[in-house]
Chain A
Amino acid sequence: MADNEAVTFHCPSCGADMKFDAELGKMKCEFCETIADVDAFENDNTDTIEEDIVEGEFEQDNEEILLHKYKCSSCGAEILADDHTAATFCNFCGMPAMIEERLQGEKKPAFVIPFKVNKESAIETYTAWAKKGIMTPSKFYAKATIDKITGIYVPFWLYDYHARMYLTAHATRTRSETRGSYRYTHTDHFHVVRDIETDYLKIPADASEKMPDDVMDKLEPFNYGDLTSFEMPYLSGYYAEKYNYSAEDMAPRLEHRVKNYINTEVMRTIVGYGGVQVTQRKMNVQKLRAKYALLPVWILNCTYNGKNFMFAMNGQTGRVVANKPVSAKKVLGWFSGITVLLATVLYIIGIFL
């Protein structure tokens, strides 16, 4: 048993729970519709709930996971959360609950981008996306599936990097002329040198073990104009994770990314040549700082034929990242239909030829 605290926000007017409203960008009471600024809730109108630790209760991928048990301050029901959950809901009464100890000290995010796309818009986008895929199994736009869509604040590290690249290359430019019955091809040879340095700011890298890196990368870019100092009320009404990977853990992946960026940037400056052969390339990338931030993502997981498919939507810009599953039945249906149609049309054309 360990004593930790989870936080919920209550309406100053009626005492009901308050959630962050993505459209308004403020806290809103779902019961009496009282609206209040996020700032007004920091350290005020909060309840704490007690925690128990239940070890080895569930198994996932043959590994025991540690579950923490909290008591809901609203209904008294138990709330179970794993090691990395920072914000969740009571499964019984639906009251938002934040685990404050996972949002404090070094685990406290420096920044947050609040949700701008609300659940209704996310559902609308998802439904349109699913129906657009004519090969998508109908299960994917069933109401039961759509209702599973969840708003999550995903932990990201925002890295600042300094990159420098020195490059030498042999470049050629070709021109030709015709004299009599001969063609003369002239090739001009050049020695090319580039030495460029620059900073790259706030490159995001998701620090959650649960989120696939490629999906999170494709959700970019986020609009950093909305990046704001972290305050816990932004999490009310959404799930949130704390980071699994430290900034140092993620650094190699980021360094690789920055090296690609600076290389592309330098190569972009070598123009006007027909051929470029790099003879020397020196790169130096240096991590300046990494800040912990929570970024908004709408997630929907659906299993089809034993395989998990994830729909992810940038909770700020609405950008959708998802690979639609393909229904074998629909593929066969379309293939047969088109084949029969085309074969018939071709044969009829053949008769009249």
Chain B
Amino acid sequence: MKISKKIAIVLLMAMISTLLCGYNVRFDEEKFRVIDNVGYFSESEQKELHSYLTQKSKEAELDLVVCIENKSVSGDYEDEQNAEDIYDNAGYGYDNGSSGVMLYINLDSRYAYICTTGIAIWYIDDYDIEDILDDIWDDIVEGDYFNATKDFADDVTIIAEKFLENEEDGIEVWQEEGYTSYEDFYNDFVRHNTDVDYTLEPTAGEIITNILKNPLWCIVIGAVISGIVVLIMCMGHKTKMKANGNTYIDRNTYVTNQVVDQYLRTTTVKTKIETSSGGGGGGGSFSGNHGGGGRHF
């Protein structure tokens, strides 16, 4: 065997090992978890928060991030979109997926938003988000984002651990969501770029908002409605036949020779009335690959 071939095999094995090792890496501890675009935190505060968030991320098995922004936006939707973009672009996510939670604070719009991604959407529902916001609200209002971030990380970890403990206890929460295997549930909520539909549907309001924000959709909707209107305008030009049998019938010669309505029998069909049983499920409201909730301070 030539030396070059040996080198090639070694390199190939090294690459495979790297890939396998990469797969086993739960998350990137070195990735900085404090995004301070306004210079709010001091360097030491940033380091301390990063360490704290990294520690809590390990416990919660979710990537925990904080982001401070000072950006002019036209509405809450833009803030939420911005938070999701920052999270996605930075490549956060636990367990080779995207699972994580970000506390996003925009000082310009004075909007605090908790953005959930991956399995965190399912862990942290709308009520949890409200509870977390309630817990950190005083700090947010007073401008103490350092403590707010720590409290946020604590709260998320507590909620996530409940799920992790339950899973370890054998309570397979994914079954409640109608999944037949944990893999399917995991793929839906954790993995990036999955084609599988989420079981939790976005609200009608969110769908409409998303559509109306997109100019292309506005044109498509406008064209469809316009097409229908123009079609009706064109079709309105037809004249229908007005005369019918009654126009020419001679009632003086009308003779009814026979009229019979004879009862024959009655048949009966018995059917059981189905009663519908209700079911419930957790999870926060979301659209696309993210969930979340927020409020103004």
Q: Do A338 and B260 have beta carbons less than 8 Å apart?
A: no
Task: Count A interface residues, CB 8 Å.
Answer: 65
Is the CB of B269 closer than 8 A to any CB of chain A?
yes
Which residues of chain B from 213 to 270 have a CB within 8 Å of any chain A CB? Answer: 213-215, 218-219, 221-223, 225-227, 229-230, 233-234, 237-245, 247-251, 253-270
Is the CB of A218 closer than 8 A to any CB of chain B?
yes
Q: Do B250 and A201 have beta carbons less than 8 Å apart?
A: yes
Is the CB of A189 closer than 8 A to any CB of chain B?
yes
Q: Do B212 and A349 have beta carbons less than 8 Å apart?
A: yes
* A308 partner residues in chain B, CB cutoff 8 A: none
Is the CB of A79 closer than 8 A to any CB of chain B?
no
Comparing A63-71, A99-107, A261-269, the segment that makes contact with chain B is A261-269
Q: Which of B253, B260, B266 contacts A193 (CB 8 A)?
A: B260
Given A269-B259, A339-B222, 15 more pairs with CB closer than 8 A: A182-B270, A184-B268, A185-B270, A187-B269, A191-B262, A196-B256, A200-B249, A201-B250, A203-B248, A218-B240, A221-B247, A261-B249, A344-B218, A350-B213, A353-B209
Q: Do A335 and B227 have beta carbons less than 8 Å apart?
A: yes
Q: Do A194 and B266 have beta carbons less than 8 Å apart?
A: no
Q: Do B245 and A260 have beta carbons less than 8 Å apart?
A: yes
- Given A193-B260, A197-B257: A338 and B248 interface contact (C-beta under 8 Å): no
A190 to B263, CA, bound (A): 4
- Given A189-B266, A198-B255, A346-B212: A338 and B244 interface contact (C-beta under 8 Å): no
A352 to B208, CA, bound (A): 12
Q: Which of B77, B242, B253, B270 contacts A184 (CB 8 A)?
A: B270
A187 to B267, CA, bound (A): 5
Which residues of chain B from 176 to 194 have a CB within 8 Å of any chain A CB? Answer: none
Q: Do B255 and A324 have beta carbons less than 8 Å apart?
A: no
Q: Do B233 and A134 have beta carbons less than 8 Å apart?
A: yes
Is the CB of B75 closer than 8 A to any CB of chain A?
yes
Q: Interface centre among B75, B218, B263, B264, by most A CB within 10 Å?
A: B218
Q: Which of B219, B254, B265, B271 contacts A182 (CB 8 A)?
A: B271
Question: What is the chain A residue whose CB lies nearest that of B250?
Answer: A199
Q: Do A339 and B219 have beta carbons less than 8 Å apart?
A: yes
* A182 partner residues in chain B, CB cutoff 8 A: 270-273
Contact with B along A245-289 (1 / 0, CB 8 A): 000000000000000111011000100000000000000000000
Q: Do A220 and B242 have beta carbons less than 8 Å apart?
A: yes
A191 to B264, CA, bound (A): 7
- Given A346-B212, A353-B212: A334 and B230 interface contact (C-beta under 8 Å): yes
* B251 partner residues in chain A, CB cutoff 8 A: 198
* A331 partner residues in chain B, CB cutoff 8 A: 230, 234
Contact with B along A335-353 (1 / 0, CB 8 A): 1001111111011011111
A300 to B255, CA, bound (A): 44
CB distance from A136 to the nearest CB of B (A): 8
Question: What is the chain B residue whose CB lies nearest that of A189?
Answer: B264
A260 to B275, CA, bound (A): 48
CB distance from B24 to the nearest CB of A (A): 44
Q: Which of A184, A321, A339 contacts B239 (CB 8 A)?
A: A321
Is the CB of B74 closer than 8 A to any CB of chain A?
yes
* A183 partner residues in chain B, CB cutoff 8 A: 270-273
A133 to B237, CA, bound (A): 7
Top 3 A-B residue pairs of the complex, sorted by shortest distance between their CB atoms = A350-B212, A261-B245, A342-B222
- Given A338-B225, A347-B212: A323 and B239 interface contact (C-beta under 8 Å): yes
- Given A194-B258, A196-B254, A196-B256: A181 and B245 interface contact (C-beta under 8 Å): no
Q: Do B237 and A192 have beta carbons less than 8 Å apart?
A: no
Q: Do A181 and B240 have beta carbons less than 8 Å apart?
A: no
Q: Which of A171, A188, A202, A342 contacts B266 (CB 8 A)?
A: A188
Q: Do A353 and B230 have beta carbons less than 8 Å apart?
A: no
* A201 partner residues in chain B, CB cutoff 8 A: 248, 250
Which residues of chain A from 200 to 248 have a CB within 8 Å of any chain B CB? Answer: 200-203, 217-218, 220-221
Q: Do B221 and A346 have beta carbons less than 8 Å apart?
A: yes
CB distance from A38 to the nearest CB of B (A): 27
* B208 partner residues in chain A, CB cutoff 8 A: 353
**29 A-B contacts, Cβ less than 8 Å apart?**
A135-B233, A166-B258, A181-B273, A185-B271, A187-B268, A190-B262, A195-B256, A195-B257, A196-B254, A197-B253, A200-B245, A200-B248, A203-B248, A217-B241, A220-B243, A221-B243, A320-B239, A322-B239, A323-B238, A338-B226, A338-B230, A339-B219, A342-B218, A342-B225, A343-B218, A346-B212, A350-B209, A352-B75, A353-B213
